[in-house]
Amino acid sequence: MLIGNHTVGDGHKAFIIAEIAQAHDGSLGLAHAYIDAVAEAGADAIKFQTHIAEAESSPGEPFRVNFSYEDKTRYDYWKRMEFTQVQWAGLADHAAEKNLVFLSSPFSFEAVTLLQSLSVPAWKVGSGEVFNPLLLQRLKETQLPIIASTGMSTLDDVMRLLVSFSDYEPGFAVMQCTTMYPTPLDYVGMENVQLYRDIGGTVVGLSDHSGQITPSQIAIARGANIIEVHVTFDKGMFGPDTSSSIDMDELSALVQFSKDVICIDQPIKQKNVVSEELSSLKQMFGKALIAEQNIDAGCEVTLAHLGARKPMNGIPVDQFESLLNKKAKRVIVKGERLDWDDFI
């Protein structure tokens, strides 16, 4: 599948998405600062969440975690997280200037319409929205690639998703995810990344909430096509997702790891070709035969006469058997390097 100018799938570097979510805490300036930092770390995409309180929530919606010092309800929180269409456009333009793919998860039809006006190149569907067939159908109609998380899905739910999008030509990616913040390592569900591939997923990945880079590194090493991680400037910052986020240094390390893996996985040269390229080192580290003791003229060479020293300038040690029982033409002193011309 193609996301912006990135080809995502087998044989390509893992597509790394830095998830900001609500880490900006409603601050437009902080949201822009995250774009700069994520670009500096080298991620491929930055992802926000587009919340329009009146379109997705109601005043009685309870908090998942009652963390806020200023919002009485989650509806109030979503309201405070809103940006205007102009502000979202500014964020998208800033991301483009930094060569980042701009993504944002929609949570309502209105959010889809707003993001369409920004020409987003793909959709990221949150774990809760995969159970919303109305939204999924609306996204299908846009004919853009879709990435879906499965944080609360059963295996049957995942299979239904894959069947529903099996002929979706723009491309559909399914992400292993666990809706726990932070996710304990034994709940990451790494084996599901391969399982989703086995049951029909052509593009698979991991959306990780562990707050560590190890799960993402393992997923990349095992062939995950997409990695999504929550990011923060500092793990001591305010917000509901801080404990499940990695910092910018860790994001940078994860990006470098993904580049290293794709480099390591490139087809290697034939062993003989590599050996030829290392021939000078072979001479340096290899050993040649020397006289382990004096050899008189006319004496037949035995194993006791032979020793080996670096470098390999002379008779290579692995050819010692060819010297056995040959006769020395002259006296050869202990420690002297042996040469074929000295024997008959």
What confidence tens digit (pLDDT) does each residue in 173-185 have? 999 999 999 999 9
Strands 203-208 and 226-231 come out as parallel
User: Any idea what the CATH number is for the domain that residue 283 is in?
Assistant: 3.90.1210.10
Last residue of a domain, one of 264, 283, 301: 264
What pLDDT score was predicted for residue 278? 77
Last residue of a domain, one of 213, 230, 264: 264
Among 24-28, 100-104, 311-315, 335-339, which stretch is predicted with the lowest mean pLDDT? 311-315
Domain identity same for 242 and 298: no
Return the CA Rg of the chain. 31
Rounded distance between C-alpha atoms, residue 228 and residue 47, angstroms: 9
Per the domain annotation, does 1 fall within a domain?
no
Owning domain of residue 53: 9-264
Among 4-8, 40-44, 171-175, 283-287, which stretch is predicted with the lowest mean pLDDT? 283-287
Burial (CB count within 10 angstroms: exposed 0-12, middle 13-18, buried 19+), residue 241: buried
Per the domain annotation, does 252 fall within a domain?
yes
What pLDDT score was predicted for residue 268? 66
Per the domain annotation, does 86 fall within a domain?
yes
Per the domain annotation, does 222 fall within a domain?
yes
Q: Choose from 56-60, 245-249, 310-314 the range with maximum mean pLDDT.
A: 245-249
Q: What is the mean pLDDT of residues 94-99?
A: 98
Per the domain annotation, does 277 fall within a domain?
yes
Domain identity same for 162 and 191: yes
Per the domain annotation, does 77 fall within a domain?
yes
Among 47-56, 214-223, 267-276, 334-343, which stretch is predicted with the lowest mean pLDDT? 267-276
pLDDT digits over 113-138, tens only? 999 999 999 999 999 999 999 999 99
Q: What is the mean pLDDT of residues 166-191?
A: 97
Angle in degrees, CA 178, 244, 149, rounded to 5: 35
Domain identity same for 253 and 237: yes
Domain identity same for 280 and 181: no
Q: How many distinct structural domains can be found in the chain?
A: 2
User: Higher confidence at residue 19 or residue 63?
Assistant: 19
Say if CB 248 and CB 72 are below 8 A apart: no
- pLDDT at residue 325 above 80? yes
Last residue of a domain, one of 264, 295, 320: 264
Say if CB 154 and CB 192 are below 8 A apart: no
What pLDDT score was predicted for residue 281? 77
User: Higher confidence at residue 82 or residue 61?
Assistant: 82
What pLDDT score was predicted for residue 69? 67
Residue 86's pLDDT band (cuts 50, 70, 90): very high
* Residues 6 or more apart whose Cβ sits within 8 Å of residue 136: 125, 129, 130, 146, 164
Question: ω before 182 within 30° of 0 (cis)?
Answer: yes
Per the domain annotation, does 3 fall within a domain?
no
Domain identity same for 44 and 162: yes
Domain identity same for 234 and 107: yes
Domain identity same for 302 and 322: yes
